Amino acid sequence: MRNVMELKDNWMFVKEAENAADAASKKGTAVSLPHTWNAVDGQDGGNDYHRGTCWYVTKFQKPELEAGSQVYVEFLGASVIADVYLNGEAVAHHEGGYSTFRVNLTDKLQEENVLAVALNNADNNYVYPQKADFTFYGGLYRMVNLIVVPESHFELDYAGGNGIAVTPTVECDENRVPTGKASVKVETWVTGNADSVVITITGEESESKTVSVVDGHAEATFELEHVHLWDGVDDPYLYHAKAELSSGDVTETTFGCRSFYTDPEKGFVLNGRVYPLRGVSRHQDRTGAGNALSYEMHKEDMEIIKEIGANTIRLAHYQHAQEFYDLCDEYGMVVWAEIPYITMHMPNGRANTLSQMEELVVQNYNHPSIVCWGLSNEITAATPVDEDLLENHRLLNDLCHKLDKTRFTTMANVFMQETDSPLLEIPDVNSYNLYFGWYLGELEQNDEFFDEYHAKYPDRCIGFSEYGADANPQYQSTNPTHGDYSETYQTVYHEHMLKMIEERPYLWATHVWNMFDFAADGRDEGGKHGVNQKGLVTMDRKLKKDAFYLYKAYWNKEDAFVHICGSRYVDRKEDTTEVKVYSNQTTVSLYVDGTLLETQDGSRIFRFAVPMTGEHEIVAKAGAEEDSIHIRKVEEANPDYVMGEIKDVINWFDDEPYKPECYSIKDKMSEIKASPKAGAILAELMAQAPGAESRGDVAESVKDNPNLVRMMGRMTLESMLGHMKDSITEEQVKGLNRMLQQIKKGE
């Protein structure tokens, strides 16, 4: 029989030690698992964020063992590089902080055992992630288990898998519509001597088969004449598969039967019907806990995502906890799963990308919620496209298809990535992360990008993998603008994006960045330290921002509600204020101080003009649902509602090396002007900058002097801008460089 024991308690955390013996000899701090040492400092945004090597030490008695029994220690998540020691002897080394790995301890056990684990989340050049806009927590932030199995047992040594793989195939007609039949292949892998395996699948009907073990492998195929499909959020039906050995060892899993594909015009198709994937992205951390989450925390996250009405989740930017993948199966969420191959390609990191991908696929193969494997995210943000980067992606793509022939591959491209890059030809489908209207440009440029892409590549599937705007709920505005970090601008931004998405059904999937605010140790902006505030919900999960209810109005068709925006915008200086209401009902009535102001028929967004004379109680009613806020007229604007000086929003990777194949401020003025696209951007900046009129007069005199013309042409744009410090800000220079970096040389 298999026996699994949690090693939850009686751990000592030691921040500094020379080796395993030194760690075991120190008093340390008593902790229980899950635990991370960055639960607080990982979102402080200061210099106290600790990255390095720390130790966890525990003691345990040797379990009672029958003859031939094997003992494994299982780590469900140890971040980021783990070295495991038993009684002072090194027994395992694992690179990658997000996946399960196991160590066979059997031959090294004593009656009393000391288990010491050194974890390192410091910088290196070979284990991902190393550069990204989120905190790299260190610690044993998921559970550690002791597993005792008989000598003959299901495989525990390969890539953290559980020795069973289920491959359902749904029969479809010529139109790719399910016929009602399916076949289910169940494979198992066995260690030790075993002649046969009993495999059972259970659903609305149950069936068992006894199959032979050949070279450690056994498989059985079951024919389902009336298959019950796993049908997304509408009906996430799960079957159960179980495999048993005569030794008493058992492995089991849930699975679902579904068909899916992407289409350049229809988008995503599930079980023969067009099923637009509209949802969110999620990071696995929260205030006070870091990434050491309990099951209850995972469940709360899922309930919030369900409330908004999403049907898909991009689980970024690494392998998430099995508990959450299970919840996605149970709730019917279609999942994009990916590895932390992000931002910066490292030539020494190829093996690590492949091992992390192998673990991701093997450990998550049976989850029906997962439909695609993500190869990388914004990998060209800090690295140009070269042959080494391309080859790394080809190998990852081939590995995914070798391990899993049922799912497609994808990747999330950074917004300045050229659409004609050979990188986009590697995965089966593509997506883009676009931030027009936040980091640069105007909201309408998101529309233009997808229209141009779809027109140029009508046979390609394209998705929208990230978009968002930071919002600190403290900040409110009557005149919201890009870069003010106000909750108000976030609603304006998402109102545009939702309309844009709805008008483009060919987008195979769209994912808001992000469902929840999350820790990003490198950030210090928008009135908060160490937090990316693009979430629709705050990091502590206690406050749903107004934009949350906008999405709920679009996506949640079941739960009637009405929401008044601006509950935190109490003090208002204007004589007439706009009160905006979100609802999934078609009629909304607004009451001011108990008197009906107006009833409107509409859809999702309702706007009312309310005269301000003093203290007012505002109530919105939609059928049986209602919501209320309190506002008051003031003579002076409340300074707490404003961040301060509004500046251009600087992307977190703006200090990265330039892409040499694109224009930048380091190029010569003559080269930039020779490009129609780059020259137009430069001309626009020069015309808008203070002193443009006087510079025009100078230009008139310069053009008649050939020597001056040649000299100016040889100057880099960076040098020229250095002479304009009094009239052009640093933010404008960075913004100009970002735009130039999107234009390939020669265009």
Name the β-bridge partners of 75.
Answer: 101, 144
Give the residue-averaged pLDDT of 581-601: 98
Please report, to the nearest 10 degrees, the dihedral formed by the alpha carbons of residues 716, 718, 724, 725 taken in order: -160
Give the pLDDT score at 415.
83
Give the pLDDT score at 725.
47
Quote the Cα angle for 240-241-247, to 5°: 135
| Strands, sheet with 604-611, edge to edge from the N-terminal-most edge strand | 562-564, 576-583, 604-611
Strands 144-149 and 70-75: antiparallel
Give the pLDDT score at 665.
80
Nearest to 68 by CA among 149, 124, 128: 149
What residues does each domain of the chain span?
3-149, 164-260, 261-559, 571-641, 669-740
Q: What is the 3-state secondary structure (H, E, C) of 225-236?
A: CCCCCEEHHHEE
Give the pLDDT score at 653.
61
Give the pLDDT score at 708.
37
Give the pLDDT score at 720.
64
**Cβ distance 421 to 385 under 8 Å?**
yes
Share of the chain above pLDDT 90, in %: 81
Higher pLDDT, 20 or 678: 20
Residues whose CB is less than 8 angstroms from the CB of residue 634 and which lie 6 or more positions away in sequence, other chains included: 571, 572, 573
Query: With b meaning 16 or more CB within 10 Å and e meaning fewer, what string describes 161-172?
Result: bbbbbbbbebeb
Give the residue-averaged pLDDT of 53-79: 96
Give the pLDDT score at 266.
97
Give the pLDDT score at 639.
94
- In the set 95, 155, 219, 378, the catalytic residue is 378
| Strands, sheet with 70-75, edge to edge from the N-terminal-most edge strand | 3-6, 144-149, 70-75, 101-104
Name the β-bridge partners of 314.
Answer: 281, 336
Give the pLDDT score at 349.
97
Q: What are residue 88's phi and psi, to 5 degrees?
A: 85, -5
Which H or E run contains 550? Answer: helix 546-555
**Among the four given CATH numbers 2.60.40.10, 3.90.226.10, 3.10.129.10, 3.90.1150.10, the one describing domain 164-260:** 2.60.40.10
Total count of residues recorded for the chain: 747
Higher pLDDT, 108 or 705: 108
Q: What is the pLDDT of residues 239-297, one digit of tens each?
A: 999 999 999 999 999 999 999 999 999 999 999 999 999 999 999 999 999 999 999 99
pLDDT band at 522 (very low <50, low <70, confident <90, very high): confident
Measured CA to CA in angstroms, residue 378 lies from 130, 259, 317, 322, 324 at distances of: 13, 29, 11, 25, 24
Q: What is the pLDDT of residues 494-510, one digit of tens each?
A: 999 999 999 999 999 99
133 pLDDT more than 70: yes
Report the chain's terminal Cα–Cα distance, integer Å. 67
Residues whose CB is less than 8 angstroms from the CB of residue 182 and which lie 6 or more positions away in sequence, other chains included: 168, 169, 170, 171, 223, 224, 227, 257
- Compute the distance between CA of residue 137 and CA of residue 54 in angstroms, rounded to an integer: 12
Handedness of CA 149, 152, 158, 163 (dihedral sign): negative
Written as six digits, the tokens of 187 are 């494979």
**Among the four given CATH numbers 2.120.10.30, 2.60.120.260, 3.30.70.2190, 3.30.70.360, the one describing domain 3-149:** 2.60.120.260
Nearest to 317 by CA among 500, 518, 165, 462: 518
pLDDT band at 666 (very low <50, low <70, confident <90, very high): confident
Q: Among 284-298, 537-551, 671-685, whose mean pLDDT is lowest? A: 671-685
Nearest to 560 by CA among 625, 653, 506, 497: 625
Which H or E run contains 403? Answer: helix 387-403
| Strands, sheet with 260-263, edge to edge from the N-terminal-most edge strand | 260-263, 267-270, 273-274
Give the pLDDT score at 411.
97
Query: Which fold would CATH assign to domain 571-641?
Result: Immunoglobulin-like (2.60.40)
Provide the 3-class DSSP secondary structure of residue 360: helix
Give the residue-averaged pLDDT of 700-719: 48
**Cβ distance 277 to 465 under 8 Å?**
no
User: Does 164-260 match 571-641 in CATH topology?
Assistant: yes
Across the chain, what does the average pLDDT equal?
Answer: 92
Strands 277-282 and 509-512: parallel
Residue whose tokens read 């998405």: 501
87 pLDDT more than 90: yes
60 pLDDT more than 60: yes
Give the pLDDT score at 402.
98
Q: What are residue 288's phi and psi, to 5 degrees?
A: 85, -30
Rg (CA), the chain: 29
Q: What is the pLDDT of residues 298-334, one digit of tens each?
A: 999 999 999 999 999 999 999 999 999 999 999 999 9
Q: Is 378 a catalytic residue?
A: yes
pLDDT band at 397 (very low <50, low <70, confident <90, very high): very high
Written as six digits, the tokens of 508 are 């195979």
Give the pLDDT score at 650.
67
Quote the Cα angle for 482-483-484, to 5°: 100
Higher pLDDT, 656 or 446: 446
Which H or E run contains 396? Answer: helix 387-403
What is the DSSP-derived secondary structure letter of residue 644? S
Residue whose tokens read 């971040």: 79
Written as six digits, the tokens of 86 are 């038993």
Higher pLDDT, 661 or 611: 611
Give the pLDDT score at 147.
98
CB atoms closer than 10 angstroms to residue 388: 12
Which H or E run contains 104? Answer: strand 101-104
What is the DSSP-derived secondary structure letter of residue 342? B
Residues whose CB is less than 8 angstroms from the CB of residue 349 and which lie 6 or more positions away in sequence, other chains included: 125, 126, 127, 128, 130, 341
**Cβ distance 466 to 513 under 8 Å?**
yes
**Among the four given CATH numbers 2.130.10.10, 1.10.3720.10, 3.10.129.10, 3.20.20.80, the one describing domain 261-559:** 3.20.20.80
Quickly list H helices, 205-343: 295-308, 322-331
Written as six digits, the tokens of 523 are 């950030």
Encoded amino acid at 148, one letter:
V
Q: What are residue 574's phi and psi, to 5 degrees?
A: -70, 155
- Compute the distance between CA of residue 86 and CA of residue 1 in angstroms, rounded to an integer: 24
pLDDT band at 741 (very low <50, low <70, confident <90, very high): confident
Residue whose tokens read 């209850």: 296
Give the pLDDT score at 706.
43
Q: Among 91-95, 551-555, 668-672, whose mean pLDDT is lowest? A: 668-672
Higher pLDDT, 374 or 418: 374
